[in-house]
Structure 1
Amino acid sequence: MKGWTVMSRQYRNPLVTVDIIIEMPASPKGDAVKGQEPGILLIERRNPPRGWALPGGFVDYGESLETAAVREAMEETSLEVTLLEQFHTYSAPDRDPRHHTVTTVYIGRASGIPKAMDDARNLQVFRKHELPADIVFDHARIIRDYYDYRAFGKKPDSRVPAAESVEPSCS
């Protein structure tokens, strides 16, 4: 991967991405069904790594995270999403097998009938106990954190574990 140069020093920076947890009614018609918990919308990826994922993608240069989240949701699901809140940022260097990425996850809502578009081969609304086994990237962890947040009101811990802390560089 190419980096950029400032005053003859080469830098390789993580790529910035967004992912969106889109809360959807349990009914495929977009209507709430009495007694059924809402689900979240996952896309089945057309491109490697293949499997199920949250809608999302790369932030374009000059674009805000929020604008990127709404754009990616529209490009992959054809839904206009209303962002409810910024959920958490995930930055493990190995979270994406293609690149070192940092993602900011948003929680949003949409109604209507989603349609798989762009790099989504398929999509489906899943309830908590119906999630597919082949969830890619670190999205299984993100989804688990989301359901814990919805159940207990506590967002993921942002503190860096001691094993991952990095000493400041003095160069």
Structure 2
Amino acid sequence: MYKNPYPTVDVIIENNGKVLLIERNNEPLGWALPGGFVDYGESVESAAQREAVEETSLEVELLDLFYVYSNPSRDPRQHNLSVVFLAKSLTPLDEMKARDDARDVRFFGFNELPALCFDHARILQDYQEFRRSGNKPRPGEGR
């Protein structure tokens, strides 16, 4: 049977040098960027905004497309690719709360990141390099 990868989105929301992560309530358990699957008939932009609200209660403005990660082994559940966006919250941050499949939500400094699910450690490593150099990741095997 022929199968295509599933499209997903992840959202990087930064505030005062810290990045927002959710603690997942479903397998695989652990911390991750807010995000999820793109529904049929939905744009990746709409999916990113929907997932941010569903998991963090924050409405976001998408600022830029960061990168597309497509390594077939990036998610242990199945082959997917993730469109990663940079965003800012339009909702006051004191209204942030975990919802949907998120158990907890909070900001972490880049030097205090917990163990991350999927390939989110790689994504945040690339994002830190982008912040330092201003250059987005370049296409390459393993991303």
The letter of the residue matching 2:135 is: K
| Counterpart in the other structure of 2:102 | 120
* From 10, 13, 31, the counterpart of 2:4: 13
The letter of the residue matching 2:109 is: R
Secondary structure of the residue aligned to 2:28 is coil
| Counterpart in the other structure of 2:127 | 146
Distance 2:8 2:22 in 1: 16
| Counterpart in the other structure of 2:70 | 91
Secondary structure of the residue aligned to 2:54 is helix
Structure 2 unaligned regions, length at least 5 = none
What is the CA distance between 1:23 and its match in structure 2?
Answer: 1.4
Distance 2:73 2:141 in 1: 16
Asked if the contact 2:18/2:109 (under 8 Å) is kept, the reply is yes
| Counterpart in the other structure of 1:129 | 111
Q: How many percent of aligned residue pairs carry the same amino acid?
A: 55
| Counterpart in the other structure of 1:66 | 45
Moved segments of 4+, more than 3 Å: none
Distance 2:83 2:134 in 1: 19
TM-score of the pair, normalised by structure 2: 0.93
**TM-superposition CA deviations, 1:21-72 (whole Å, max 9, x none):** 0112xxxxxxxxxxxx421100000001000000000000110000000000
Within 5 Å, which residues of 2 pair with 1:25-36? none
| Counterpart in the other structure of 2:19 | 40
Distance 1:160 1:47 in 2: 28
Number of positions where the alignment pairs a residue of Structure 1 with one of Structure 2? 139
Structure 1 unaligned regions, length at least 5 = 1-9, 25-36, 162-171
Q: Relative to total residues, which structure has the larger strand share, 1 or 2?
A: 2
* From 13, 17, 36, the counterpart of 1:22: 13
The letter of the residue matching 1:20 is: V
TM-score of the pair, normalised by structure 1: 0.78
Q: Which has the higher contact order (CA 8 A, sep 6+)?
A: 2
